[in-house]
Each structure stands twice: as structure tokens, then as C-alpha cells.
Amino acid sequence: MAKNVLLVDDSSTMRKIISRSLRQAGLDFGEIYEAGDGQEALVMLEKESIDIVLSDINMPNMNGIEFLREKANRPAIKDIPVFMISTETGEDIIGEAKSLGAIGALKKPFTPDKVNEVLGPFI
Amino acid sequence: MNSCIELSDKLIESTIEIFTGMVMMEISVAPGPMPKLGPLRKSITGMVGLAGIHKGVLAVHFPYQVATAVTSNFLGMEVEEINDDVQDAIGEIANMLGGNLKTILSDRGKDIQLSLPSTIYGDEYSLASQADVDQIILPFQTPVGIFYVEVELER
């Protein structure tokens, strides 16, 4: 069954680009939901039926690391997988994201082929 | 790092990667010596700040016609004036380049912090640095005009 995806990025441009790249990559997904920061993402996760989250790290209000930490404390949503898509791909920050439950990371900039290669196994 | 030449080479590589891979626009380094930027006219600038072991700013400067063409390509829809989409797109280009610059300057990443991107635009404006800095300005040729990538790092 096609998975519903939540895109979390403060840039509306980047949400559009990721959404377009998912389509161009030929991945079979269901609904695409959008959130502008970690706080909005938490609300969305508790409201909608979402199967996987693709999240930026560097965001206002609640960044990607804070989002992972807060999500881990909420039993109803803590097991929904999160994949990081960010310019922040230093090993320390990605290591911290993974220690908080992130299942992988994709570096911006990316191409649809890269999206397919990296995200395909999860979507 | 790192000599200015090595840093310039990696910034050129990063900028071309972003434009060919995500903006879907072919660009090349404009020939000639490193330009000096005077007041920017009818332009938009996206900026991110760096703090930590390297302090400074990365900025991208686009004349309006280049910014709208870049945003149109980036979003896959026609954009004719400077609006929220253009500001967001130019900010995101600065953000991606800033992320790459951070990785160029520090492999581990955590010892440099990147600010959120910001943009300014107008009929005429200038940017000035208070600190003693090393400066790199790289001009890039697009099908519709030239834009600039500028990095200033405190010595």
C-alpha cells in the first residue's frame, strides 16, 4: 500500500522540489502533507495518518533535532520513521539525528535519481 | 582549510552542482578577474551566517531578471516579479551553498553553526563588513545574466 509522506521544511520552495522529486523518481506514495517546522509536524503527525516523515534540520521555532527529541516522547507517534533531508550532513549532526531515531539522511542538493536510490527502499 | 583558491574551486563545484541538479539551469564561471561588487541595483541577495570555528557570511546576489528565471526553473512555473517564492528560492540556494561551505570548512559539521537564510532586495543597496575578512566573489554566467556568490570569512 502506498505510504503517506509528511514533508517538513521551512522553505516552501524546498517542499515543492522534494514533492516533485518524489514524483520524478517514480516512487509509489500516497498523500503528501507539508509542515513548516517541527512544531507543525508534531501537530500533523497526531492529526493525519502518516507513514514516513522527510524532515529538514535547520528550521525556525523547532528544528529537526528538537522535533526528533519531542516526537520520541509521544507514544502515539514515536514509531513513525523520519528521514532527514538537509544541507546539514556533518557526521556529528547526522549521528545525533540517528541516535534520536532518524533512519537515514539525504543531502541537499539532490537529484530525482538520488531520491529514488536513497528513499526508494523506505517508500 | 585552506587556500582561497581551494575554497573557490569547491564553491564553484557546489554552485554548479546545485544549479544543474536542482535548479535545472546550466551555468558556468564568468571569465575575468575576481570582480569588486559596488552597490547592487535591482537585485536580490540571499544570505546565511556562519558562527563557530569559522565566522562569516555567504551571500548570493541575483539581478531581478536572473532571480525570476532561476525561481521559474527551480519551481517549474513562470515567475515574473520578486515575490515570496523568489525570496524563498534565493534563500534556499544560499542555505544549500552555506551547508556545502560548512562541510568544506569542517568535515564534522558541529563546530560551525549555520544561521537560517535571509533575503534582502531593492532598487539599490550595499553590504558592508565590519570585520577584517578574507573575501571571495565568484561570478556565474546563466542564460539570462550573471549572478555572484560571495563569501566573507573572518581572519
Taking residues B5-28, report their average pLDDT: 94
Provide the pLDDT for residue A41: 98
Which residues of chain B have a CB within 8 Å of the CB of A91?
107-109
A95 touches chain B (CB under 8 A): no
Are B100 and A16 inside 8 Å of each other by CB? no
Residue from A62, A11, A7, A66 nearest A37 by CA: A62
Number of domains in chain B: 1
Question: What does the pLDDT read at residue B20?
Answer: 92
CATH number for the domain that contains residue B132: 3.40.1550.10
| Band (B1; pLDDT cuts 50, 70, 90) | low
Q: Do A87 and B114 touch (CB under 8 A)?
A: yes
Under-70 pLDDT residues of chain A: none
Q: Which domain holds residue B57?
A: 4-154
Q: What pLDDT is recorded for position A92?
A: 81
- The beta-carbon neighbor of A109 closest among B17, B71, B107 is B17
Mean pLDDT of chain B: 92
Say what the pLDDT of residue A32 is. 96
Helices (H), A10-76: 12-24, 38-47, 64-72
CB contact under 8 A, A17 and B74: yes
CATH T-level fold of A22-112 = Rossmann fold (3.40.50)
Q: What is the pLDDT of residue B2?
A: 55
Contact residues on chain B for A23, CB-CB shorter than 8 A: none
Mutate which of B14, B85, B95 to disrupt the A interface (most A C-beta within 10 Å)? B95
pLDDT of residue B109: 66
Query: What pLDDT score does B34 carry?
Result: 74
pLDDT of B143 strictly over 80: yes
**Closest residue of chain A to B93, computed from CA coordinates:** A109
Domain borders along chain A are 22-112
Q: What is the CA radius of gyration of chain A?
A: 13
Q: Which of A3, A35, A32 is nearest to A19 (CA)?
A: A32
**Per-residue pLDDT tens over the stretch B62-119:** 999 999 999 999 998 999 999 999 999 999 999 999 999 998 898 766 789 999 999 9
Minimum distance, in Å, between the CA of residue A86 and any CA atom of chain B = 8
Under a CB-based contact definition with an 8 Å cutoff, are residues B15 and B147 in contact? no
Q: What is the ipTM of this complex?
A: 0.85
Between CA B68 and CA B121 the distance in angstroms is 13
**What pLDDT shows up at residue A57?**
94
d(CA B46, CA A68): 28
